Amino acid sequence: MQSVKQEPIYLPGVENNPQPSHYLNLIRTSESTGRETWNIWYLFAFRPQMTQHLARFTQEVMREPSPLSPGLRELIAAYTSYVNECEFCTKAHVAVAAELLGSEDLVWTALRNLDASSSKEDEKALLRFAGKVTSDLPSITEDDVKSLRALGWNDESIYYTITVCALFNFYNRWITASGVHAVSDEGHRPHGKVLAQKGYDPQLREQHLGSIGESSE
């Protein structure tokens, strides 16, 4: 079965040189099953000795114990990506957040019209803070942190908000400047299930690619 062909990234020297790794296995499995190949995998497969640390860091930030639920962390990732206009990361993490929070409409409303969304007011404050960190970093002061504390968020919660936001500011720039394209909506939804269920361990995602769907980072 022929895989769905994605547009090439801007770096053919990277895309044409994936190294042996779980990410190369994801590419080959996708090709053999006819699914869309996620060209972010080429970024990870190009230097797996480097990107394996990024994958582990992402797993730790997004899935290990934290005062913020995995669903809220994914919503912060999607919101940050939306502010940065990174189509791939926005669609990818909307799909994951929707799986974890139980509503795609809730997630998209939070991104497009936060004031009108059904998210809790204290969670809206975290998203606004992440948006400010992303789009107006020089304006951040201690008062921004104090206002979050006044809503009941402790410093650990604020730390995780900043870290998720910073991580996805990295991903948005890494992906967009490299020319990674979003896949179809039909591809993003099954990918969201994989990331929601299996997290960011590429070995687990490789094992479930054939039976459940694709994933991104």
CATH number, position 86? 1.20.1290.10
pLDDT at res. 143 = 98
Residue 1 lies in a domain: no
Residue 148 lies in a domain: yes
**DSSP conformation letters of 2-46:** PPBPPPP-S-HHHHT-PPSSHHHHHHHHHHHHTPBP-THHHHHHH
How many structural domains are present in the chain? 1
Residue 43 lies in a domain: yes
Residue 105 lies in a domain: yes
| Gap between the Cα atoms of 149 and 154, Å rounded | 6
pLDDT at res. 216 = 45
pLDDT at res. 2 = 45
pLDDT at res. 183 = 87
| Gap between the Cα atoms of 102 and 107, Å rounded | 9
Residue 134 lies in a domain: yes
pLDDT at res. 186 = 80
Residues of the chain with pLDDT below 70 are 1-5, 204-217
What six digits make up the tokens of 60?
């730790």
What pTM was computed for the model? 0.92
Residue 61 lies in a domain: yes
Average pLDDT, the chain: 91
Residue 4 lies in a domain: no
Instruction: Quote the domain boundaries for residue 144.
Output: 12-208
Is the distance from CB of 192 to CB of 216 less than 8 angstroms? no
Residue 195 lies in a domain: yes
Is the distance from CB of 161 to CB of 130 less than 8 angstroms? yes
